[in-house]
Structure 1
């Protein structure tokens, strides 16, 4: 990820199953003073979640944002799509402890939610924890490096 990524910009994207929660989280982030790069979708028309996971990965690679939020119905498909990119460490979370640990131990730069599986208030709480938590480094650094540089199969 480029070193010049804006520290106050968060990319957000989701499919049709999550457009309402995406809008709510975007508003929540803007209310906290973040600039939000909204990569869509913005309505209920059926779309393909990999397109949005890939768009967010590109935005982070290009330095348009340094962190991201992804959403789909379950959160599973879009997190799989994002994690296919070596510079993305996307964690699907459903409660605050996972939101904290994915930052402390895994240096996750993207958080994913399943809009059909998490309520809006809990999603906001998890997002707040994710954004407020720093990577511990130390013994975790070696492991995180292996995530971005996997051995050849």
Structure 2
């Protein structure tokens, strides 16, 4: 699977750990930055990730910042993106099953590496349930429906 990952400076270590782990698992990972721990603004990287999802350059995205809140808000500014902020695997799975989330957001200051990997695994292995959820998900990208 083609996965884009981006963070701010607060989550650069978690980003590097997850990116390498995903590559080891056989995924094609696009690291959208940043490349160093120098201070950056999370909206810039959230927008980069959203663009990769909206353009089809990536099937799924992982957005990381200190809390996960700011970068998830930035990603969700793009109508093609459905970013879900999670801290445990059940929420990650439900974000896919019920909401067809295409971006997983997490906070590096709140979520350890092992829990983050469990969330990513649930996110990548859960399919969208469709059915009664499909119309609701359609309204997320087209509010006038």
Give TM-score, length-normalised by structure 2: 0.98
The answer to whether structure 1 residue 78 and structure 2 residue 78 are counterparts is: no
Mapping of 1:2-151 within 5 angstroms?
A: 8-151=1-144
What runs of 5+ residues in structure 2 fail to find an aligned partner? none
Give the Cα–Cα distance (whole angstroms) in 2 for the partners of residues 147 and 34 of structure 1. Answer: 28
RMSD: 1.0
Give the Cα–Cα distance (whole angstroms) in 1 for the partners of residues 11 and 122 of structure 2. Answer: 20
Superposed CA offset, 1:97-151 (max 9, x none): 1001000000000000100000000000110010000000000001000001013
| 4+ residue segments displaced more than 2 Å | none
Give TM-score, length-normalised by structure 1: 0.93
Q: How many residues align?
A: 145
Give the Cα–Cα distance (whole angstroms) in 2 for the partners of residues 60 and 130 of structure 1. Answer: 15
